[in-house]
A and B are shown apart, each in its own frame.
Chain A
Amino acid sequence: MQYTEIMVRYGELSTKGKNRRNFIDSLGRNVRKALHDFPELKVHANRDRMHIMLNGEDSAKVMDRLKLVFGIQNFSPSIRVDQDMDAVYKTAVEMVRAQYQPGMTFKINTRRSDHKFEYDTNEINDMLGGQILDHVDGIKVQMKHPDIVLRVEVRLNGIFLSSETIQGAGGLPVGTAGKGMLMLSGGIDSPVAGYLGMKRGVNMEMVHFFSPPYTSEQALAKAKQLASTLASYSGSVKFIQIPFTEIQEEIKEKVPEGYLMTVQRRLMMRLMDAITRKRNGKAIFNGESLGQVASQTMDSMIAINDVTTLPVLRPVISMDKTEIIKVAEDINTYDLSIMPFEDCCTIFAPPAPKTHPKLDRARAYEERIDVDGLMQRAMDGITITEIKPGENYMNAQEDVFAELL
């Protein structure tokens, strides 16, 4: 079917009172960003619906992108015809035929915003239903739970027909909740946490700690690749890499083994606090799941959370590993996450980290190192890159290889 437009229904934002305009504007921006490489498209973000005029662009490709945009409840590809019932009949029959399989039922659902049109909704339902029954062999009418719902909208600029409703990603438009900073390690959990935060409207920046030579270039590339996958939901993300080698070496030298992890995580959290404030973020996100590992007990959280007053949000806190994996598979981060490169959390990991560290001990051990100096040098070494969907960091030679193949 050669669709002429896609009609987008908003998600929760329909209920958001005064902020509505803001939400709709954000969603419009995000949709335009997601579809920026379709030059002929026109996006009209109206109060109740969004209309995307295809102007000849490939509807299937456009819809694949739309599925990833948060704040969309669902959408329907539709065809515009002139205000002429013969044209409506012809297109409607074609549309139903394209979907019809023996035994299916249908109904017609007409809305009319142009009240000057010569027929009212009941008349249109009747006339069009008759045409479908005449021209599609074996099809039956059913009002409750039909297989095919043909939607007809009579507007001033034409009549719009659609018969398919495709689920959107739900959630809130990215950006409407403000900026947050995700601790992105490269494991399974943190990308899921980032995704869930973005789904609630957070403009997420990806913070990655790296410790060369203990962690490899491949581990860094993997984190960037994960960021690129998450960028599909927002159009682009900032990737902030913080050098962590010196801090880890110093902690390893001066802190007792049982508290290595706790103090290390405190320093990470201090750096998160600093970078979040510097970049006007409002919260820190991470992929902690209660009780999963030593640093994710409540005692550990007390000892680590101590260094910041910013909210530390943990979207996967109550999820089981299997539930997290399910989401990771759905958002295409799982296969990447399980690639076996050491990250900075696993190197220097003591054989028996304290699962119930004491806050006062953690504070005391931390005093053995030069926190201010180490933090300053780490902050000075930060690099920030913009990462877009579809970029390839794992296979730097992709283009060279494409020539070979």
Chain B
Amino acid sequence: MIYFDNSATTQAAPAVLETYTKVSQKIWGNPSSLHSFGENAFHLLEQSRQQIATLIGAKPNEIFFTSGGTEGDNWVVKGTAMEKRTFGKHLITTAVEHPAIHNSMEQLKELGFDVTYLPVDAEGRISAADLKAAIRPDTILVSTMAVNNEIGTIQPLLEVADVLKAYPKIHFHVDAVQGIGKGIQDLIMNDRVDFVTFSGHKFHAPRGIGFIYARQGRKLAPLMTGGGQESNWRSGTENLPAIAGMAKALRLLLTDEDQKVARERAIKQRIYDHIKTFPKVTIFSQPTAGFAPHILCFTINGVRGETIVHAFEDQGVYISTTSACSSKKHLASSTLMAMHVQENVATSAVRISLDENNTLAEADEFIKIFDKLYHKFSKINADA
């Protein structure tokens, strides 16, 4: 079995599950309880927070635990809207965001907010000039992803940061769900960013856990109100086993990050070099520094993405149509549509997404299977 769908989710690491289980069994007190049992849980919570903060170069009071990427994105967008609505009602994002951002924006539109979607170029990248032109006196948020989940484009975060330095009141949010552990932490945690979303299950932590970074001094209205956990920013009894597990997963992820990234890049390069030689293959992700090391998006012209996914699955290789979230809806890739790729091409796109456990041997195996399938598709589809 070859699992090349790590941008959809990753397998929880055994060491992480061990932590999860131990905490569930032994440190199951409520961190808010006064007795020593709760106290103990509280200390583990804070130690986890401290570890995560240190790993991403933040302070512990800048880390807030959430249920995952979708909550983080919803929170920053809607929390900013609620917090800053008296200052303005204009939000800026990109045309290629994850639905967690896109649909939050759309919801706010119905409530009277104004949203600008920045266009992208043929590689799926926004430009600082477009951003500059879009900023208005009533702009309260600029939200962009670090790495596109469908084709792997890295957005020019430092350029965005530079533009926004002239507008210190605007909240700058980065959705780093696909970006953590991919060798671009300097870009993500740049000196202007205010909020960053992270999701645990994309880096071998359990489901249902994530966190946001919120720069000290910046404020968000809470979406979850209640018992006042997380400094009253995000109520709800803390999911301590998952939080501790995530702290461990993040530490493991960032250990030898450079080597892992180089390995992923090498695998991607090998597959890229091979499939680019086929006339009916169109590749959307480049093997350059402007793209994440782990995502490769391509099509075999004329073959539906779904068909390709299932054909590979029959051979024991797990890939996906562009994003897991839209794959069951038979929708064309929204990123590719934003890049003005023709709809019939956009519907045939598939995505390989790697992680640090994949190997070059798997790449070779994939290549063999690819050749076989390409040949087969050519026969049944005269166009292909």
A residues in contact (CB < 8 Å) with B = 217-218, 394-395, 397-398, 401-402, 404-405
- CB atoms of A394 and B43 under 8 A apart: yes
B288 at the interface (CB under 8 A from A): no
Contact between chains at B248 and A404 (CB < 8 Å): yes
Whole-angstrom CA separation of A394 from B19 in the bound complex: 22
Interface SS of chain B? helix
Cα separation A78 to B19 with both chains bound (whole Å): 46
Residues of B near A217 (CB, < 8 A) are: 36
Is the pair A404, B23 in contact by a Cβ cutoff of 8 Å?
yes
> Are the CB atoms of A401 and B43 closer together than 8 Å?
yes
- Nearest chain-A residue to B22 (Cβ)? A404
Which residue of B is nearest A341, CB measured? B34
- The docked-state distance in angstroms from the alpha carbon of A120 to that of B19 is 67
Closest residue on chain B to residue A340 by CB atoms: B34
User: Which residues on the A side are within 8 Å of B23 (C-beta)?
Assistant: 404
In this complex, which of B43, B46, B51, B244 has the most chain A Cβ atoms within 10 angstroms of its Cβ? B43
Q: Are A398 and B39 in contact, CB atoms less than 8 angstroms apart?
A: no
Contact A405–B43 (Cβ < 8 Å): no
Q: Which residues of B contact A395 (CB under 8 A)?
A: 43, 46-47
Q: How far is the CA of A405 from the CA of B39 in the complex (A)?
A: 18
Query: How distant is A367 from chain B, measured CB to nearest CB, in Å?
Result: 38
A-B contact count (CB 8 A): 31
Whether A401 contacts B39 by the Cβ 8 Å rule is no
CB-based contact A218/B39 at 8 Å = yes
Specify which chain B residues have a CB less than 8 angstroms from the CB of A218 in the assembled complex: 36, 39
Whether A397 contacts B19 by the Cβ 8 Å rule is no
Q: Is the CB of B46 within 8 A of A405?
A: no
Residues of A within 8 A of B67 (CB): none
* A397→B44 contact, CB < 8 A: yes
- Do residues B248 and A405 form an inter-chain contact, with CB atoms below 8 A? yes
Q: Which of A401, A402, A405 has the most CB of B within 10 A?
A: A405
Query: Which B195-251 residues sit within 8 Å CB-CB of chain A?
Result: 244, 247-248, 251
Contacts A395-B46, A395-B47, A398-B47: A405 and B247 contacting too (C-beta < 8 A)?
yes
A-B contact pairs, 27 of them (CB 8 A): A217-B36, A218-B39, A394-B43, A395-B43, A395-B47, A397-B40, A397-B43, A397-B44, A398-B43, A398-B47, A401-B43, A401-B44, A401-B244, A404-B19, A404-B22, A404-B23, A404-B44, A404-B244, A404-B248, A405-B19, A405-B47, A405-B48, A405-B51, A405-B244, A405-B247, A405-B248, A405-B251
Interface contacts beyond A397-B40, A405-B51: sample of 17 additional A-B pairs, CB < 8 Å, sorted by A: A217-B36, A218-B36, A218-B39, A394-B43, A395-B43, A395-B47, A398-B43, A401-B43, A401-B44, A402-B47, A404-B19, A404-B44, A404-B248, A405-B19, A405-B48, A405-B247, A405-B251
Q: Restricting to B95-120, which residues have a CB under 8 Å from any CB of A?
A: none
Residues on the B chain within 8 Å of A397, using CB? 40, 43-44
Cβ–Cβ < 8 Å partners of B244 in chain A = 401, 404-405
Report B254 CB to chain A, min CB distance, Å: 13
Measured CA separation A405–B46 after assembly (Å): 12
Q: How far is the CA of A394 from the CA of B44 in the complex (A)?
A: 11
CB distance from A334 to the nearest CB of B (A): 12
The smallest C-beta distance from A61 to any residue of chain B, in angstroms, reads: 16
Contact with A along B35-65 (1 / 0, CB 8 A): 0100110011011100100000000000000
- Chain B residues, CB < 8 A from A394: 43
Nearest opposing residue in chain B for A404, CB measure: B19
Taking the closest CB of chain A, its distance from the CB of B26, in whole angstroms, is 9
Distance of B186 from chain A, by nearest CB (Å): 19
Of chain B, the residue at the smallest CB distance from A221 is B39
- Per the 8 Å Cβ criterion, residues 2-29 of B in contact with A are 19, 22-23
Q: Which residue of A lies closest to B23 (CB)?
A: A404
Report the minimum CB–CB distance from B142 to chain A (whole Å): 27
- Closest chain-A Cβ to B16's Cβ sits at a distance in Å of 10
Residues of chain B lying within 8 A (CB to CB) of residue A398: 43, 47
The residues of A that contact B39 with a CB separation of less than 8 Å are 218
CB distance from A194 to the nearest CB of B (A): 25
* Distance from A383 Cβ to chain B, minimum over Cβ atoms (Å): 21
Would you give the 0/1 interface string for B306-340, flagging 1 where the beta carbon is closer than 8 Å to chain A? 00000000000000000000000000000000000
How far is A191 from B244 in the complex, measured between Cα atoms in Å?
A: 32
Q: Which chain A residues lie closer than 8 Å to B51 at the CB level? A: 405
Residues of A within 8 A of B251 (CB): 405
Complex Cα distance A394/B48, Å?
Answer: 15
Whole-angstrom CA separation of A82 from B39 in the bound complex: 58
A404: chain B residues within 8 A (beta carbon): 19, 22-23, 44, 244, 248
Closest chain A residue, CB of each to CB of B51: A405
Residues in chain A near residue B44, CB distance under 8 A: 397, 401, 404
CA A397 to CA B251, docked complex, whole Å:
19
Q: Is the CB of B36 within 8 A of A401?
A: no
Complex Cα–Cα for A405 and B249 (A):
8
Bound-complex Cα distance A218 to B39 (A):
9
What chain B residues lie within 8 Å of A402 (beta carbons)? Answer: 47
A394 vs B40: C-alpha distance in the bound complex, in angstroms? 9
Distance (whole angstroms) from the CB of A261 to the closest CB of chain B? 25
**Once bound together, how far apart are the Cα atoms of A218 and B244, in whole Å?**
23
Closest CB in chain A relative to B60 CB, distance in Å: 10
A49 to B47, CA, bound (A): 41
Nearest-Cβ distance from residue A340 to partner chain B, whole angstroms:
9
CA separation between A164 and B271, bound complex, in Å? 52
Name which residue of chain A comes closest to B42, CB basis: A395
Taking CB as reference atom, which chain B residue is nearest A398?
A: B47
* Nearest B-chain residue to A402, judged by Cβ: B47
Bound complex: CA A402 to CA B50 (Å) = 11
Bound: A398/B46 CA distance, A = 10
B148: min CB distance to chain A, Å = 31
Q: How far is the CB of A16 from chain B (nearest CB, A)?
A: 39
A34–B40 alpha-carbon span in the complex (Å)? 31
Q: How far is the CA of A394 from the CA of B47 in the complex (A)?
A: 11
For residue B49, give the distance in angstroms from its CB to the closest CB of chain A.
11
Contacts of A405 in B (CB 8 A): 19, 47-48, 51, 244, 247-248, 251
7 nearest A-B pairs in the assembled complex, by CB-CB distance: A395-B43, A405-B247, A401-B47, A404-B19, A405-B248, A401-B44, A405-B51
Chain B residue nearest to A217 in the complex (CB): B36
**In the complex, what distance in Å separates the CA atom of A404 from the CA atom of B240?**
12
Report the Cα distance A218→B35, complex, angstroms.
Answer: 9
In the assembled complex, how far is the CB of residue B229 from the closest CB belonging to chain A, in whole angstroms? Answer: 15
Please give, as numbers and ranges, the residues of chain A lying within 8 Å of B47 by CB-CB distance. Answer: 395, 398, 401-402, 405
A13 to B288, CA, bound (A): 61
